[in-house]
Structures are given as C-alpha cells and as structure tokens.
Amino acid sequence: MISEDTIIHAQLEVSECTAELYLNGVPVTRIVASPTRIPIENVAVMQLLVPGTNLLEIVVEPGPKPSLARTAKREQSFRKMSAAGRLIRFKEGVPGLVEHGDLLTEVNFRWQDASVDSQYFPQATGMQVEMGAAFGRWAWQNAPDLVLDEATILEARAVLDEVEAALRARQADRFWDLTELQIKDVVRAYPQVTEAFLRGDLQTMLGHFEKQPNPVVARDPAAHDFRIVGGGKLLQCIDADWTTSFKLRDPDGDQVPYTIFLARIDGRLRVVR
C-alpha cells in the first residue's frame, strides 16, 4: 500500500460548516467555512500512519477552542452543511484531487434534510483503514500516557523556550538535537527526503533569520490551550485561537505557524511531530 513513488495525503473538504480532521487521534487540519477560504485542503500524513489499523476522523462544528473541540456541546438549528475526510494515495507530481489518486478511505457528514430542525454538536465520525506494516511503530506510540497538569504544561513551555533559544542563537546543531526524533521520523516516512537535504533546509532557514532580528514570535502563556491527543501520547502546543503556540517570523515580518507535538521519551518531553 506504501511505495517510494507515492505519497499519502489526508484531505478535508467542508461546506457551510467548520470541521477538524484527525488521523489516529492526531489533529491534521481544520477548516472554517468562509467565502474567502478555500474549502478543501490536503496534508501529507505519512509520518502519522501507524502499522495495522488507522483511524481517519472528522469532528464537525468543534467547540470554541482546541481543548473543548470534542466536549463543548451546543444545539444548532438546521442549515445545509457537509464535511468529508479522505485518505488518498497519490503519485508524485499529480494534482491533489481525489480523482487523480487512489482513495483509501473516506468519512462523511451531511445535514441536508430540513425535517431534522436541530442537532447537537460537535459530532465525530470516523472510518478505519488497514495500512499493513506502514513504517513500523513510532517512538511516540510506546510513550506513556500524558496528564495535562501544571507540571506538564510548564515542562512543555520549557521545551518551547529551548527551541526558541536555539533559533535565536542560530545554533543549527542544537536545534537539530532538540528536533532529532521528529526529523528522523520524517526521513523514515518520506524516503525521497534525506537527512542531508533537511540539514541544508535548516541552514537556509537560519540564513533567512539573519535578515530578521526577531525570528520567533513572543508567546503568551495566557493564550496557550495545550491539549493531549494521539490516544493520550502526544501534547499539542496550540493556542486558544487555534493557531500554533510556536510561531516564526519570515524576513518580511509575517508570522509563520510552526507545529509542535511533544511526547515523553526516556522520561522527558521531546519534540516528535
């Protein structure tokens, strides 16, 4: 099911609603229906596939912030809406539309019947797909379950501080060490990506920061809304407004999201995704 000349994407498509897409309990993307927002998005997810059974899931009309995405129940009156989550295998270089790939699984939500005048949200629905050996087990799958207490939150913030310090000091080796588990998994999941390529990409990024004296956006602890995902194994560093807690600035000063998931590896929180 997996080969070197293909890439597997998770795709989310929405109409008149907000939906969040998960793969194996890990948030992949979220779309808020808007006239100015493209209602479909693809995300490469090879690094989120696990051996055996994989679960693709959509949460429709999630709660107002990440930590309440699945639990903030509220009643909504009828309006036509739909959402679809797909797992699609593509050949390299083809357009990212389902008709150009192999559909591995699809999950749908549709509310089109006005005879149902109200429903409670959020609503979650999912489909499973077998992926064989995939890329083998990831280190984070064997990690202990996390507890979202004050000590864990403070430890997570300390990790973000370390990553920031390495970037501000343009310390490529230190940044590499802090994100090595994530990087090695990327190389494992995407055979066409080499460690040498990623080291070069890191040097390019640090070179951009020479033109940007403040490469990391200041974090506001009051805005943090960290949540435990991935079946209890991962801590997502995210803010209450659904943006990543860690953000960079490009040479023009624009904010660039930087996704970070942590797991407890060898007794301490490490960047794994």
Report pLDDT digits (tens) over 259-273.
999 999 999 999 999
- Cβ burial, residue 202 (10 Å; 0-12/13-18/19+): middle
- In order of 19, 36, 231, 272, the CA distances from 241 in angstroms are 15, 18, 23, 23
Residue of 7, 10, 8 lying closest to 30 (CA atoms): 10
Pairing, β 227-229 against β 234-236: antiparallel
**Residue 108 — pLDDT band, cuts 50, 70, 90?**
very high
Residue of 22, 266, 271 lying closest to 144 (CA atoms): 266
Helix (H, G, I), strand (E, B) or coil at 49: coil
Mean local confidence (pLDDT), 209-223: 90
Mean local confidence (pLDDT), 68-79: 97
Residue 89 has pLDDT above 70, yes or no: yes
Q: Specify the pLDDT at position 212.
A: 77
**CA–CA gap between residue 138 and residue 21 (Å, rounded):** 21
Whether the Cβ atoms of residue 59 and residue 19 lie closer than 8 Å to each other: yes
Residue 253 has pLDDT above 90, yes or no: no
Number of residues that this document lists for the chain:
273
- Where is 208: in which H helix or E strand? helix 195-209
The highest-level CATH class for domain 140-271 is: alpha beta
Q: Specify the pLDDT at position 96.
A: 85
Residue ranges of the chain that CATH labels 3.10.450: 140-271
**Residue 166 — pLDDT band, cuts 50, 70, 90?**
very high
Q: Specify the pLDDT at position 210.
A: 82
Q: Specify the pLDDT at position 1.
A: 63
- The values of phi and psi at residue 159, to 5°, are -65, -45
**Helix 180-189 to helix 195-209 angle, to the nearest 10 degrees?**
130
Average pLDDT, the chain: 95
- List the end-to-end C-alpha distance of the chain, in Å, as a whole number: 23
- Where is 173: in which H helix or E strand? helix 172-178
- In order of 53, 96, 108, 162, the CA distances from 11 in angstroms are 18, 9, 12, 33
Mean local confidence (pLDDT), 36-49: 96
- Where is 151: in which H helix or E strand? helix 150-168
Helix (H, G, I), strand (E, B) or coil at 146: coil
Pairing, β 26-32 against β 102-111: unpaired
Residue 44 has pLDDT above 70, yes or no: yes
